[in-house]
Amino acid sequence: MLKVYGRANSINVRKVLWVLGELGLAYEREDWGRGYRPTSDPVFRALNPVGVVPVIDDGDFRLRESNTIVRYLAEKHGRTDLYPKDLRQRATVESWMDWASTELYLGMRTVFHALVVKNPAFAGMADSGVKDWGEQMQVLEGHLAKGGPYVTGTAFTIGDIPVGLTVHRWFSIDFPKPSLPAVSAYYDRLAERAAYRQHGRNGTP
């Protein structure tokens, strides 16, 4: 059976759990990371020398990096509805995944660590994080208002997984926010999916 290494409240682990829910696959999960066994432990470093969660063990194959794992699982199980075969459509899906894990992620990470984790390294940085995150959320608002209802158009894809989890954190963390009606509608639309309700919009930021 597929095994997932990483704590269930990690946003990157949640990407993997969400796609597993979409695929209807059984799996086992083992807690690693903040609040559990540290990823600096030699046992974990033997699984992933980079020392971050998630990692999956798929039989005799181990894989790290959340977006890569999501793409691998969708491709392996033939879900061309989630991860299209057409080169241009696939590249578009991947571009939204990459954006969510870079530009969209950076401000979110600062806000999350400053206001939720209370990480001393991020003390006093919440305002700058809110500004950066808010600018990227405005990008998403404009895109969805013009070309939604999902990030690649009319159909849900794995491109929505990293975006949707960051959107959940936006609405879950308490700080002043602008009105983003297209993003709000997107958030509610994603909540129609059982796997998102379980691993995304589940009460955990």
Tokens of 123: 């003390």
User: Are both 168 and 189 inside the same structural domain?
Assistant: yes
CATH of the domain at 101: 1.20.1050.10
Kindly report the number of other CB atoms within 10 A of residue 60's CB atom.
Answer: 5
Reported as a single tens digit per residue, the pLDDT across 54-100 is 999 999 999 999 999 999 999 999 999 999 999 999 999 999 999 99
Give 122's DSSP letter.
G
The reply to whether 100 and 195 lie within a common domain is yes
Q: What is the pTM of this model?
A: 0.97
Q: Into how many domains does the chain fold? A: 2
Q: How far apart are CA 9 and CA 148, in angstroms?
A: 28
pLDDT at 18: 99
| Residue 119 token pair | 């990480």
Which of 76, 101, 129 is at the close of a domain? 76
What whole-number distance in Å separates Cα of residue 103 and Cα of residue 117?
21
Same domain, 109 and 139: yes
Asked if 114 and 63 sit in the same domain, the reply is no
- Residues 59 and 36 placed together within one structural domain of the fold: yes
Choose the final residue of a domain: 46, 76, 106: 76
The predicted pLDDT at position 178 comes to: 97
HSE, side-chain direction, 13 A CA sphere, residue 149: 10
Residue 10 sits in which domain range? 2-76
Tokens coding 79: 């879900």
